[in-house]
Amino acid sequence: MSETRIAVAAIIVEKKESVEALNTLLHEYGDYIIGRMGIPNTSKGVSVISVALDATNDEISALTGKIGNIEGISIKTIYSSL
């Protein structure tokens, strides 16, 4: 088995209709999620979500790539140096 890393994905949701697809992916990769925090900003009409992951580089890349392909969602990922 490949070694895992800790990463945090910062997600900005700008289209409410994209939330279902996002939640489906997060559920699919739920075994790798160690924490999640969502902050709605109703005055701007966006939500900010941070997702902490413990997974291999390939698993993290697969999840974040799929999320990045959802219309109305932006994502950036930060990896630990460990």
Q: Which residues, other chains included, contact 38 with Cβ-Cβ below 8 Å and sequence gap of 6+?
A: 47, 48, 49
pLDDT in tens, 8-55: 999 999 999 999 999 999 999 999 999 999 999 999 999 999 999 999
Output the pLDDT for position 2: 78
Output the pLDDT for position 81: 79
In order of their start, the domains of the chain are: 5-79 (3.30.70.1150)
Selection from 21, 14, 61 nearest residue 40 by Cα:
14
Chain centroid to CA 22: 8
pTM score:
0.91
